[in-house]
Amino acid sequence: MHKGFLTIYWRDMLRFVRFRTLLFTSLVQPALWLAFFGVAMSNNFERLTATMQVIPGVRAVGYLTFIGAGVIAMTTLFTSLFGGTVLLFDKNWGLMRETLSSPLPRIHIIIGIGLSAMTKSFIQATVIMVFGLLLGVQFFEGYTAIQVLVSLFGIMLFIGAFSLGFLFLSAAIAITMESPEGMQAVITLLTMPFFFTSNALYPANSFPPVLRALSTVNPLTHLVSGIRYFAIGSEFSSIGLRYTYTQGEVIVSFLALLAFAGIMFLIARWRFTRVTVT
């Protein structure tokens, strides 16, 4: 079996570790976002909902816990979408031409970059969870050690499927674009709709019908739902609303992420088989 994708993976991970500024900002930025935005919004929401009646028999969590899953998902989205940028730089610097002319199957380039983006997402999610717990995020509250391990495994499964899907999309865009500025504009255009039509920051049930329909098919919504199911529980209340996630719904969300990743992989593979780098 050809294992050339491991070389692509290892090269990108070495670049990630050796570029200290990139490593530092990619790990610290989401933690700071949770610390400043999350804490500020949490205080405001708790003040607004202080007079709301507590739902009996349902565990109540603060907005900081609610948004914690959204911050993990947001970070995974940004990391994955910008992960394909390395391919564009390789293309512009002539390294991609050498790679494509080698005996390495082109599909291994996609797989290697995809695995490196998934690893980065795992690292960032772990940092955010640890930092969130220090801030008071109520993840895994009341869980046994075995339940925490199972929940972490479930969260990483969701993050892995999600990150692969958006990395494959990013790779397809990168191999098509000619300039980093153009790719950044496209990624920025894609990021906002995905983020703001999801349930990362607020409940999607209160959306207008059109936005609610978009939220239902939004991969980010499925990721956030999976993280909340494993990290908070199948039933809880926050900002005055009750949330219930069944096992069936979580399985459907995971299958939707797998389907999205599969479709994006086919698109990326199609683009790489057609590309000619001079």
Average pLDDT value for residue range 246-266: 95
* Average pLDDT over every residue of 251-263: 96
99 residue type, one letter = T
Query: What six digits make up the tokens of 130?
Result: 């640890």
**pLDDT on residue 150:** 96
Cα separation, 34 vs 56, in Å, equals 29
pLDDT tens digits for 1-26?
467 778 888 888 888 777 777 667 77
Segment 220-242, tens digit of pLDDT = 999 999 999 999 999 998 877 88
Asked if 263 and 238 count as a contact pair (C-beta separation under 8 A), the reply is: no
pLDDT over threshold 70, residue 219: yes
As a whole number, the mean pLDDT across the chain is: 84
Please list, in sequence order, all residues whose beta carbon lies within 8 angstroms of the beta carbon of residue 115, skipping any fewer than 6 positions away: 5, 9
Domain that holds residue 124: 4-49+56-274
Q: Quick one: tokens of 52?
A: 């709301």
HSE value, Cβ hemisphere, 13 Å, CA-based, for 59:
14
Residue 143's pLDDT is 93
Q: Please report the pLDDT score of residue 157 as a whole number.
A: 96
Cα–Cα distances (Å) from 259 to 74, 100, 170, 239, in that order, read 20, 28, 16, 32
Closest CA to 161 of 108, 217, 121, 109: 121
117-149 pLDDT, tens per residue?
899 899 889 988 988 888 888 899 989 999 999
Least confident of 21-35, 58-72, 170-184, 207-221: 21-35
Q: How many domains does the chain have?
A: 1
